[in-house]
Amino acid sequence: MSELTTVARPYAKAAFDFAVERNAITQWQDMLAFSSAVTQNDEMHQLLSGALAAEKLAEIFISVAGEQLDEHGQNFVKVLAENKRLVALPEISELFDVYKAEYDKEVEVDITSATELSEAQKNELSATLEKRLARKVKLNCNVDPQLIAGFVVKAGDTVIDGSVKSKLNRLEDALQA
């Protein structure tokens, strides 16, 4: 999977830069998401891993996508087909979404708490995290009763563990040392 991500990165960056230039980020995001879904179809996946000529493969892909791809999207598909990279479209779409979130200064934050958070708690956490991370925050909340109390916040590489379970584990380690 990481090999495909490495292959997809320059295409995603080029598509994103092109979309920013044309002020068409949402349109490109939609085209890439749709194209990604097309590549994940079983029949299309078999075609992509087959030995079809690039022109024929691009033609089939574009005919399946129909009006979902504009002229620039079709050209993008042709370039991917010529370089045998159509299979990387799901990763290109994911990376495009990451570039868009970065561009919009947004971050997804996973919060795992011991109990269900109230709306007031979510709003307070969101406001605090927006200040700390200097980005708009989208919360994904989960419940894990094994935390005993408190919560764990994950935002990209940043992890804030304020759970009682982790505090007890640290105390146990300190007492055993």
The verdict on 138 and 158 lying in the same domain is yes
Question: How far is the first Cα of the chain from the last one, in angstroms, to the nearest whole number?
Answer: 40
For 116-164, the pLDDT digits (tens) are 989 999 999 899 988 888 888 889 999 988 888 888 889 877 888 888 8
- Given 86, 102, 118, the domain boundary residue is 102
97 and 116 together in one domain: no
* Residue 76 CB burial class (10 angstroms; 0-12, 13-18, ≥19): buried
Give the structural domain span for 128.
105-176
Kindly report the pTM of this predicted structure.
0.66
Residues 9 and 63 occupy one common structural domain: yes
Residue whose tokens read 């991917």: 80
Same domain, 26 and 84: yes
* DSSP 3-state of 105: coil
Task: Specify whether 36 is located in the same domain as 23.
Answer: yes
Helix (H, G, I), strand (E, B) or coil at 112: strand
- How many domains is the chain partitioned into structurally? 2
